[in-house]
Amino acid sequence: MTIKHIARTAAALALLTTPAVAEVDFSGKTIEWVIPFSETGGSAKWANFFAPLLSQELPGQPTVVVKYMPGAGSTKGANWFQEQDHKDGTLLFGTSGSTQFPYLLGDPRVRYEYTEWVPVMASGTGGVAYLNAEDGARFDGSANNLKDVDFIYGSQGATRLDLVPLLAWQMLGMKVEPVFGIKGRGDGRLMFERGEATIDYQTSSAYLGASADLVASGKAVAMMTWGALDEYGTIVRDPTFPDLPTFKEVCEATEGCETSGEAWDAWKAFFVSGFPVQKIAFLPAGTPDEVTETYTKAFEAVRSRPDFAEIAEQEVGKYDMFLGFAAKRATIAGTTVSAEAKAYVLQWLKDAYGVTSLE
C-alpha cells in the first residue's frame, strides 16, 4: 500500500462519511465573521454584539471571531467574499447599507452578486431627522413653511446612506445644502450642535444616545422618522418613536410632495435597503441547507434569550431581526430596486450633485 493509496482511501472515506453526519458540529472550530469595515464603525459594533451570543448557541460552542477587512467603501471585502466557496461553514460575512448602495447604484468597483449569497440573519434600524430650534418653530407637521429656508447639512456623501435623507428633503421641497466630507454621523451632529449645520439626522440608537437630549432641552426640534416596515411592506410609524410622524405622513401633508410615483418608489427602495434591512449576515454561495439551518436556529436561540430585548436595545433597538425565510425575503427587498427607481436616483445624483462615476 503506497502513501498515495492511503490518502486516496482516506479521502474517499471522508467523502462517504460527510453526508451521513447530518448534525453540524463546530466543536473546537473557529468561526470567522468577516465584516468589510474597520474596527471603528457601526458594523463592527453589530458583529461584536452578536459574536459571543452566537458562539453560545451554535452546536459545539465554536469561538466566533470578528475579522475586519476595510477598503474601497466596503466593496473590497464584498468582492473578496464573492470569491469564497463553502468549506465547512466557518465563514460568515456581514454587509451593511454601505455595501448595498454601491451594488444598487452600479458602482464600477462592485464585482459581487448578492443573489448568490445565502442570507441567515438581517436586522435594521430607523432614523430621525431634526431641525434647529429657530427653524423648527415653523414646522407644523408639514414642510410647507420650511420651503424658503436655507438649510445646511453635514453629509458623508450623496451616494451613501445620506441619499435617503437628502432625497426626502428634496421631495418635500426644502433647500438643504450638504457639506460633504464628514467622517461619520457623530461629526454631523457636532456640526449641528455648533450651529454650523441647521438640519441633521441620526440612526435610532445614536439619536437616543445624544440627539434626544438636544430635543428635550429645546435646542432642536424633532421633525420625522423614516418609518418602519410592517409585514406587508407598508411604511408605518417607527416602534421606537411612536410619537413622531413618518416622512410619509409629512410628505402627505406637504404641498407638492407625493407618496406615489417614481420619486416615491425610488426613495422607498433605497430607504428599505438603508434602514429596515440595513445589516445582513451571509454564508458563502453553495452553503448546504443543513449549515444554513444550523445558523438560523442559533440566531433564533439568541433572539429568544429572556434578556435579549434588554441587551439588544442599544444595538438593534426595537426592530425586527429577520431569520430564515424572512431573512431571505428581507435581503431581496433590501438588494433590489426597479430599473426606473435606479434611473431616477442616478439622474437626481447627477443633476443635484454632479455624480457621474456611477454610469
Q: Does 152 bind other proteins (CB under 8 A)?
A: yes
With CB under 8 A as the contact rule, the residue among 84, 90, 170, 187 that binds other proteins is 187
Q: Does 308 bind other proteins (CB under 8 A)?
A: no
Residue type, 180: F
Residue with cell 474601497: 72
Which whole-number Å values give the CA distances from 179 to 101, 191, 251, 271, in the listed order?
A: 20, 10, 24, 21
Phi, psi of 355 (to 5 degrees): -80, 115
With CB under 8 A as the contact rule, the residue among 59, 60, 141, 181 that binds other proteins is 181
Q: Does 194 bind other proteins (CB under 8 A)?
A: yes
- Are the CB atoms for 67 and 33 separated by under 8 Å? yes
With CB under 8 A as the contact rule, the residue among 18, 145, 314, 347 that binds other proteins is 314
With CB under 8 A as the contact rule, the residue among 210, 221, 285, 301 that binds other proteins is 210
Q: Does 313 bind other proteins (CB under 8 A)?
A: yes
- With residues binned 3-state (H G I as helix, E B as strand, rest as coil), the percentages for the chain, rounded to 5, are 45, 20, 35
Piece of 12-20, 72-80, 88-96, 98-106 that binds other proteins (CB under 8 A): 72-80
Residue 288, helix vs strand vs coil: coil
Radius of gyration of the chain (CA): 22
Whichever of 68 and 264 has its CB closer to other proteins, that residue is 68
b/e burial code for range 169-203 (CB count within 10 A of at least 16 → b): bbbbebebebeeebeebeebbbbbbeeebbbbbbb
Query: Pattern 92-131, binding to other proteins, x per CB under 8 A?
Result: ----------------xx----------------------
CB of 17: closest distance to other proteins in angstroms?
20
CB of 5: closest distance to other proteins in angstroms?
21
Residue type, 10: A
Binding site for other proteins (CB under 8 A): 38-41, 44-45, 48-49, 51-53, 64-72, 75-76, 108-109, 150, 152, 154, 157, 159, 177, 179-182, 184, 186-187, 189-191, 193-196, 206, 209-210, 213-214, 310-311, 313-315, 353-357
